[in-house]
C-alpha cells in the first residue's frame, strides 16, 4: 500500500481528503498533521470520524518521513518550504493551495504577496488540471492543485479555446460558490446571519483566481486570454455554478459546438456534457467528482453561454487532488472517486 500523508488535515479540504482516502483501495493514510490540534484525534474536531478514522494530529516532519505522497492542505504561502524538504526526501507533493499554481512569479507576488523561495521547484511543478496536463502530471513530483473556481471556468473554456472558436478577450465568468469555498476560518461574510437568506458578490473583478485562469489558458493555447470574473457567495454548504459568456469568432450551430465539446471530453471520466436543452445545476454534481457542462446560445447578442457545475470540495479541491494522485501513482483515475452525486 502507498502511504499518503496530509499536512493540514483539520481544515475543510484536509477533512474531505480523509473522507475520500478512507475509501481508496490502493493507499493508506499514514498520518495527518495540525499545528493547532496537535495531539488531538480528528474525531474531536469532526464527529463523523468517530470510531472510523480516529487519526491523531502529528507534526509535519513525522508525516514527511513516513509518507510516499503528501497532500498539503494549507493556506497559501506555507507550502513551499515544506515541499522543498519533502522533494529532497523523494516524496511526491500535491499542494492544495496556490503556491505552485503559477509559473509567473510576478503574478504570484502581486496577488498573494509572496515570492518563489526555490525557483527550480516551480520549474518542475505542474498545474494539476488532469484534462489539460495529464501526461505532465505523470512525470512530476510537485503538483499544484487548481483553485475551485478556476477549475469550473477552465473546464468550460478548454474546448472553445483549443478550436479557436471564441474571442480571447471579453470573456465574462459569473460564478457562485457555497460557503465551504471560503475555508474553515470564520470571516464576517461567513457568519450565519450574514450568509443565510442572502446572496452576495465579493472581490468583484479582484479575485485571485482571475490571474490563475488567465495564465493557465493563455500559456496552454498561446493566446492572450482575458476575462472578467465575478464570484458570488451562495447560502449553501458546497457547490459551484459558473456561467461563462463568450463571443464566437464564426457562425456555428449549437449542435456543432456541442459535438466539439463531446469529442474533446469523450475519454474523460468526470466531465459530463449535458444534452442540448438541459441546464447544469449544482444538485446534479453534489458530493461527486463530476463536472456537468451545458451549452446555450443568445441569438440576439451573438453570445455563447456555457454553464459549468461542480462540487467545490470534490472536483474543485479534494476530489481533483486524489484524481491527480491516481495519475501520479499510475492508478485508475476513478479509484476512490466513483461515488455518484447525491440526488437530494
In 3D space, the residue among 279, 288, 189, 259 whose CA is nearest the CA of residue 231 turns out to be 189
Q: Which residues lie below 8 Å from residue 112, measured CB to CB, with a gap of 6+? A: 76, 77, 98, 208
Q: Is 188 left (phi over 0), alpha (psi -120 to 50) or beta?
A: alpha
The catalytic position among 148, 175, 195, 291 is 148
309 labelled catalytic: no
In 3D space, the residue among 297, 276, 193 whose CA is nearest the CA of residue 235 turns out to be 193
Which H or E run contains 136? helix 130-138
Contact assessment for residue 289 and residue 315, using Cβ atoms and an 8 Å cutoff: yes
Q: Which residues lie below 8 Å from residue 193, measured CB to CB, with a gap of 6+? A: none
Q: Which residues lie below 8 Å from residue 55, measured CB to CB, with a gap of 6+? A: 9, 18, 29, 31, 32, 41, 42, 49
Active site residues: 148
Amino acid at each position: 500500500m502507498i502511504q499518503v500523508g496530509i499536512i493540514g488535515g483539520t481544515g475543510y479540504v484536509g477533512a474531505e481528503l480523509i473522507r475520500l482516502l478512507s475509501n481508496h483501495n490502493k493507499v493508506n493514510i499514514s498520518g495527518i498533521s495540525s499545528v493547532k490540534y496537535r495531539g488531538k484525534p480528528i474525531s474531536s474536531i469532526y464527529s463523523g470520524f468517530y470510531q472510523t478514522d480516529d487519526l491523531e494530529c502529528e507534526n509535519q516532519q513525522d508525516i514527511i518521513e513516513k509518507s510516499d505522497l503528501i497532500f498539503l492542505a494549507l493556506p497559501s504561502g506555507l507550502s513551499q518550504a515544506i515541499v522543498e524538504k519533502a522533494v529532497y526526501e523523494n516524496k511526491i507533493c500535491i499542494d492544495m493551495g496556490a503556491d505552485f499554481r503559477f509559473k509567473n512569479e510576478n503574478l504570484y507576488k502581486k496577488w498573494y504577496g509572496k515570492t518563489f523561495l526555490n525557483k527550480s521547484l516551480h520549474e518542475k511543478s505542474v498545474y494539476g488540471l488532469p484534462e489539460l496536463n495529464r501526461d505532465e502530471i505523470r512525470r512530476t513530483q510537485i503538483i499544484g492543485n487548481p483553485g475551485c473556481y478556476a477549475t469550473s471556468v477552465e473546464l468550460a473554456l478548454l474546448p472553445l479555446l483549443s478550436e479557436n472558436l471564441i474571442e480571447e478577450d471579453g470573456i465574462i465568468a459569473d460564478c457562485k460558490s457555497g460557503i465551504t469555498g471560503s475555508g474553515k476560518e470564520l470571516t464576517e461574510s461567513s457568519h450565519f446571519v450574514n450568509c443565510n437568506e442572502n446572496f452576495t458578490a465579493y472581490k468583484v473583478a479582484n479575485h485571485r483566481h482571475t490571474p490563475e485562469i488567465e495564465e493557465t489558458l493563455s500559456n496552454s493555447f498561446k493566446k492572450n486570454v482575458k476575462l472578467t470574473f465575478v464570484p458570488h457567495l451562495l447560502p449553501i454548504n458546497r457547490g459551484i455554478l459558473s456561467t461563462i459568456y463568450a463571443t464566437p469568432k464564426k457562425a456555428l450551430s449549437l449542435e456543432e459546438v456541442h459535438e466539439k465539446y463531446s469529442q474533446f471530453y469523450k475519454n474523460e471520466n468526470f466531465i459530463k456534457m449535458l444534452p442540448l436543452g438541459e441546464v447544469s445545476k449544482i444538485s446534479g454534481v453534489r458530493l461527486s467528482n463530476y463536472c456537468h457542462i451545458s451549452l446555450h446560445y443568445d441569438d440576439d447578442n451573438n453570445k455563447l453561454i456555457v454553464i459549468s457545475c461542480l462540487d467545490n470540495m470534490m472536483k474543485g479541491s479534494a476530489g481533483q487532488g486524489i484524481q491527480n494522485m491516481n495519475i501520479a501513482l499510475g492508478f485508475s483515475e476513478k479509484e476512490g472517486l466513483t461515488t455518484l452525486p447525491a440526488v437530494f
